[in-house]
Structure 1
């Protein structure tokens, strides 16, 4: 039995044990009626660690109450912090926009410079740039526009370099103005050529810019009344073609000239020709004057090289990409696929319009060509007693000199002459190779068939491949060294210590020889060669006249033409023959590649 605890002998014998039914309610002192109690008090209980009643609502709070929300006049709540921030930001942007608009209105004319992107200081009329350049302007509504300023001190036409630089700047300033209008998204203008160009809505033409006050008014410049005739009005729209190019050849310039005329007619523009700096002299020395418009040419400062939509355009080899579009850089244009058959025909027909209107030789050369055509026609006529089938005249154009074929295997030399001759015989055999009674007449007709030859190399005429051929014309011919010596035999009775070496056109037409015609000593190539002398212009004009007479005889006096499309003269011949004869009937035969609609022909859009 475990031991029991005996409490009878302790010092606390009088300790009271609470009965189990005693009430354990909270002490009254907890309700603050008797003050704090001691932890040793008999009334102490651990209930205060379990029960924690909230403070009395009648007592003051330990923290101050929140302030009341302010009310507006309408009783609405105060806007949130984000809303206030948005309002302040919009107000700041409005102030900045108003300041920018004030600056633009204070400086309406800004010269364009792609080198410095910063906006230059304001310009007034007297502070316009003293060189031709596009300028930025701001209209009354604060929109960025642009126009072109050409000082009155500059003579027309400008130089090739000035026109080329201005076209580049026009493209840049157009993109810059468009980016302002479309808030930074630049969309450059696309020049498609042949009148198919997207309009630049940010461009202001010169006359409109003068009326709006962006450029000084030039209404005081009046034209003198020529010859006492009634004053003509100034043309509403015009196109002036400048006959000036760094290329010594005349064929590419003529192809551009004819196509530009066709474009002018399609767009209702008056057409003018400027030959101030043409390497071949005066246009009227080679051709008859072009058709005269019923209006006067515009003031020179209104004739612009760009943009394409300008009312008065100037076109030359330096600005051909604006007028005709941007071609491919592939040297073999026929394989580039840039122009399909339909596009080639459109360009061809434009050039054809220019040929019909402009290709009229001067009276002396024209009369000679008429006589020459009659001689060639009489030679191929078969007497009626021998048959009804006349002979064929096959024209052959051989270009050498500094022009090489497109054919890969001959690209560093020239097309062999036997290819021309074999192609001519094949053409004659194809037309005159019948059997039976018709075969007898064809045989007689072959005896009256011959080759009409034109070439820039005089040695081609004496080659064995073209024995028995007829020269296209004999009025002006490029002489060989041997021919020059025969025409000017040395005087053996006079002792000459120094004799100038004789040069001829052996090998063909070379640009270096052309630029030195009439010069006492050979000149080195220069960036800006001196103006040619009168003798140089006379000799150059003779070369051009010979070239044009050759083309006229081949186009009008032969049944077919064989040539290489790499030469501009060959492509000119196709235009002179017409689309139906050249391509539909197959009378224009290109032996230097080809394919596609047009048999390898390309026009002015791929000639620069």
Structure 2
């Protein structure tokens, strides 16, 4: 029998058994064996706030302890809290930079661009190589220059000394445009590689438009000297009084190209650009090879303001307030309008061609009005040619077809490879004209012009009344055997007419015939020469110059291909003006009297004819026919 527990000797008579759910930990208030602690007791300490009670000797928990998350990116910190911290930090940085900018703007001093620092040495070396100007004092010659504003930032402007001759020479404008690109690049380099607090900026980059300071702002800030007094010189383009235009574009009629077509195309497009950008438009003919603009055309429309001082009219940059444009600065003005693939073809961007065409059309409508005498003659000539193609029995209700033919020779050769070193054969013009007339009257749906004859008899009568209007820079073309043979072989093309007979480019034989007449008071004592072969630059530049003067030239070839440095005489300008008037009257009659125009797109006059006819008639309806390869309208290309 197992022994039993004898509890008789214990001083307690009862045993209290604790329930199994009672926690065996000590009470939180009993942390000492002598009783509870209180805040008034001398034995009070903070141990109960530091040390935790010993673990319970009870049974382990039925559920496993929660595991700590592993591999979390932020641990126990929520992502939104980190985002808030980042926003606060960014706000502090932004406030710091704003305060720094304000302090620099208030207390910053201009830093000389040519300060002899280590960082400025590469800049000075680059300036010596490119001929740039980087200084506080404006130079005494036209040039772009690097400056520093009151905040110490590198910027640039264009300095033209007040009182300088206007317009500057073509070489000066071309040189300034090339230096503008270099100075703009150098300014961007200085702004992006600047050192010191004065170069800090809130932006993430430098805008080229913000780097440039226009002349008015540069004068107000003291970077450029202003004019001492308003200039009343006749060389100033602002002869008219009134308020100075806010923005303007002045086109200088000066070019090394003896031809008139390319200059007119640039002039018309420049006017379209000025109108599109809200710029007042001015024309300067101070050194135009064809004399005064008003000797050929009527004065251009006058804006409601006056032109700015000449030293504020800049060739670059493109966004200058007052811009001057010429053949020397064509790339600056037209920019991407002339950037196309090589060779040009109909596959080019049609929208880009249409934009050029629209600009040129606006310029044509505003600037191509001939002087009063030539305009009256052209209107009468168009009515005369229209009367020649009337069918007598139709009472003016039915007309024959008028086909205009523009033949360019001289120093302009076709683009088509087969004829690139010669000229397009004349039979190509006549055959194309005959085919157009035959197709028009043989079609039952209306042909090129949207109408057809009611019956075969009326169609035949109208076909017989069809005419061909000729215009050429070569006077021999009008009596060429090819045209005579074509007239004999095709009755529909037997009626050839000059576009205009007011001013003719004479051949050598015609000049000799006139000089031998008894009615002529004075014979030609100089060497007789004519326009056989067409318009050549050598002949144009030597108009009005005696043979003795031509022989004294140092280089006859160079003098023949480029304009002379001497001012042309009044007689020379008069002869050149006659050539220009004949050219414009030919184009005006062809565009006004012809239903269809045949030409070679290699000649700029052919492209001008398309502009004068309009996009819908020339391009959409196909009344402008190019026989020089498969090219379309080229604008200023080639």
Q: TM-score range by the shorter chain?
A: 0.7 to 0.9
The answer to whether the Cα contact below 8 Å between 2:374 and 2:585 also exists between their aligned partners in 1 is yes
Match of 1:57 in 2: none
The structural deviation recorded for 1:151 is 1.1
Picking from 565, 578, 603, the partner of 2:635 is 603
Q: What is the aligned length? A: 481
The answer to whether the Cα contact below 8 Å between 1:136 and 1:147 also exists between their aligned partners in 2 is yes
Does residue 542 in structure 1 map to residue 578 in structure 2?
A: yes
Does residue 565 in structure 1 map to residue 566 in structure 2?
A: no
Does residue 554 in structure 1 map to residue 590 in structure 2?
A: yes
Q: Distance in 2 between matches of 1:106 and 1:428?
A: 72
The structural deviation recorded for 1:114 is 5.6
Match of 2:441 in 1: 432
Q: In the superposition, relative to structure 1, how do residues 369 and 215 fare at CA in structure 2: closer, same or farther (>3 Å)?
A: same
Q: Distance in 1 between matches of 2:251 and 2:283?
A: 5
Q: In the superposition, relative to structure 1, how do residues 397 and 275 fare at CA in structure 2: closer, same or farther (>3 Å)?
A: same
Equivalences for residues 303-452 of structure 1 within 5 A: 303-325=313-335, 333-335=343-345, 339-385=348-394, 388-434=397-443, 438-452=455-469
Deviations 1:247-267 (A, max 9, x none): 000000000000000000000
Equivalences for residues 428-507 of structure 1 within 5 A: 428-434=437-443, 438-467=455-484, 468-489=495-516, 500-507=526-533
Q: Distance in 1 between matches of 2:402 and 2:184?
A: 54
Deviations 1:142-167 (A, max 9, x none): 11000000012420000000000000
Picking from 167, 181, 189, the partner of 2:177 is 167
The answer to whether the Cα contact below 8 Å between 1:112 and 1:135 also exists between their aligned partners in 2 is no
The structural deviation recorded for 1:327 is 7.4
Q: In the superposition, relative to structure 1, how do residues 113 and 318 fare at CA in structure 2: closer, same or farther (>3 Å)?
A: farther
Does residue 509 in structure 1 map to residue 541 in structure 2?
A: no
Q: Secondary structure at the match of 1:538?
A: helix
Match of 1:179 in 2: 189
The answer to whether the Cα contact below 8 Å between 1:248 and 1:515 also exists between their aligned partners in 2 is yes
Q: In the superposition, relative to structure 1, how do residues 311 and 501 fare at CA in structure 2: closer, same or farther (>3 Å)?
A: same
Q: Distance in 1 between matches of 2:357 and 2:284?
A: 23
Q: Secondary structure at the match of 1:268?
A: coil
Deviations 1:159-192 (A, max 9, x none): 00000000000001001111122238xxxxxxxx
TM-score normalised over the length of structure 2:
0.70
Stretches of structure 1 that go unaligned for 5 or more consecutive residues are 1-97, 185-197
Match of 1:116 in 2: 128
The structural deviation recorded for 1:335 is 3.7
TM-score normalised over the length of structure 1:
0.74
The structural deviation recorded for 1:200 is 2.2
Q: In the superposition, relative to structure 1, how do residues 180 and 366 fare at CA in structure 2: closer, same or farther (>3 Å)?
A: same
Picking from 282, 293, 296, the partner of 1:283 is 293
Match of 2:627 in 1: 591
Picking from 257, 260, 269, the partner of 2:279 is 269
Q: Secondary structure at the match of 2:511?
A: helix
Stretches of structure 2 that go unaligned for 5 or more consecutive residues are 1-103, 195-206, 445-452, 485-494
The structural deviation recorded for 1:385 is 4.5
Q: Secondary structure at the match of 1:176?
A: helix
Q: Distance in 2 between matches of 1:118 and 1:518?
A: 42
Q: Secondary structure at the match of 1:342?
A: helix
Q: Distance in 1 between matches of 2:358 and 2:320?
A: 24
The structural deviation recorded for 1:412 is 0.1
Q: Secondary structure at the match of 1:200?
A: helix
Q: Distance in 2 between matches of 1:331 and 1:413?
A: 25
Does residue 104 in structure 1 map to residue 111 in structure 2?
A: yes
Q: Secondary structure at the match of 2:409?
A: coil
Match of 1:131 in 2: 141
The structural deviation recorded for 1:336 is 9.6
Picking from 556, 560, 574, the partner of 2:610 is 574
The answer to whether the Cα contact below 8 Å between 1:241 and 1:314 also exists between their aligned partners in 2 is yes
